[in-house]
């Protein structure tokens, strides 16, 4: 049915999941930094974070992908030429994951900011009164409690980002969509391979929803008992 291309498509799924996982890690870093900056007392940090979220959420993901990949390569090689370093070829995996992480970090900024605001202010003030530093307040008070509030928005962003990994195929990364295109061209059966790719995306998103829903229920146990 798949003309012997199924193993190749499944190996492409591994690449897709790797891109998604690394991009998610990068997005969480940008998201947390952006959320803390937006809630900072510094007007400069708030302005930078506000500009970041506004600009990134206003531009198409594909446009940003192309700008980072091709624009970054041009910039790096101009610097390399000035320093006599030779030609630098930008890695498609690095460009793809950094771009997706940067883009979805803007969305997670708002998710994390809302989760932090849901934590009673008195708990933060109590931590500060006990002599905890800003970093300790974040690690011991903010992050453990914000997880429950952030999971619904986090789940939505993860699912959207998982689908957006298909964009890396336009910069030459050999992911599942790229391999489906190669198989379609070779067999002239595009529906078969793109339908297979869609089914694999659906399977991954379904597993993700089940896992994150279970995680949300776990973090909400005590809260639900108190509300009962």
Cα 62 from chain centroid (whole Å): 14
Confidence of residue 226 (pLDDT cuts 50, 70, 90): very low
The per-residue pLDDT for 210 is 95
Question: Helices 6-38 and 143-164: crossing angle, nearest 10°?
Answer: 140
Instruction: Identify the CATH class of 17-173.
Output: mainly alpha
Global pTM reads 0.85
User: Quick count: other Cβ atoms within 10 Å of Cβ 106?
Assistant: 22
Confidence of residue 54 (pLDDT cuts 50, 70, 90): very high
Residue ranges of the domains in the chain?
A: 17-173
Segment 73-89 shows an average pLDDT of 84
110-151 pLDDT tens trace: 999 999 888 887 887 888 888 888 778 878 887 778 888 899
Confidence of residue 224 (pLDDT cuts 50, 70, 90): low
The per-residue pLDDT for 227 is 45
> Which residue has tokens 């940067």?
102
Q: What Å distances lie between residue 114 and 36, 46, 170, 173, 221, CA to CA? A: 11, 15, 34, 35, 21
The per-residue pLDDT for 123 is 80
Mean pLDDT rounded to a whole number for the chain? 87
User: Which residue, 212, 100, 201, is CA-closest to 154?
Assistant: 212
Record the tokens describing residue 43, joined without a space: 């007007």
Ramachandran bin of 136, using left for φ above 0, alpha for ψ from -120 to 50, beta for the remaining angles: alpha
């Amino acid at each position: 049915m798949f003309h012997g291309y199924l193993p190749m498509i499944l190996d492409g799924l591994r690449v897709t999941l790797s891109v998604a996982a690394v991009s998610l890690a990068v997005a969480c870093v940008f998201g947390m930094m952006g959320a803390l900056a937006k809630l900072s007392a510094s007007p400069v940090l708030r302005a930078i974070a506000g500009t970041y979220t506004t600009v990134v959420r206003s531009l198409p993901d594909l446009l940003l992908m192309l700008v980072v990949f091709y624009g970054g390569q041009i910039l790096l090689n101009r610097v390399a030429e000035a320093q006599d370093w030779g030609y630098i070829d930008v890695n498609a995996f690095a460009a793809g994951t950094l771009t997706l992480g940067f883009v979805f970090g803007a969305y997670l900024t708002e998710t994390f900011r809302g989760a932090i605001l849901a934590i009673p202010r008195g708990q933060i003030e109590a931590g500060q009164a006990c002599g905890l530093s800003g970093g300790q307040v974040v690690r011991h008070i903010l992050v453990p409690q914000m997880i429950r509030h952030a999971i619904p928005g986090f789940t939505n962003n993860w699912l959207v980002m998982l689908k957006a990994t298909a964009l890396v195929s336009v910069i030459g990364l050999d992911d599942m969509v790229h391999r489906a295109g190669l198989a379609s061209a070779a067999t002239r059966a595009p529906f078969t391979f793109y339908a297979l790719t869609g089914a694999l995306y659906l399977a991954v998103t379904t597993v993700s929803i089940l896992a994150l829903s279970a995680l949300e229920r776990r973090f909400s146990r005590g809260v639900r008992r108190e509300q009962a």
